[in-house]
Amino acid sequence: MCVVPAVAGLSALALAVRIPPRWPQVFSLGGVVAAGTALRAERRRAGYAAAALFLSTA
């Protein structure tokens, strides 16, 4: 179940590599997906990834 958002995020990053102006949107969307994944206690590491993605867009 958690594989699908990871694959979607990686494919979005792969597509956005060629378009630098889109990087903030892709990173913030990835942060939203990671934050949604991190709601459960056993997925706490995804929360750290979400924070890193949100900070990288600033």
The pair of three-digit structure tokens given for residue 19, joined into one six-digit string: 């378009």
Q: In whole angstroms, give the CA distance from residue 9 to residue 31.
A: 9
What digits encode the pLDDT tens for the residues 1-58?
A: 567 766 777 777 777 778 888 888 877 777 777 777 777 777 777 777 777 777 777 6
How deeply is 50 buried, as exposed, middle or buried, from its count of CB atoms within 10 A (0-12, 13-18, 19+)? buried
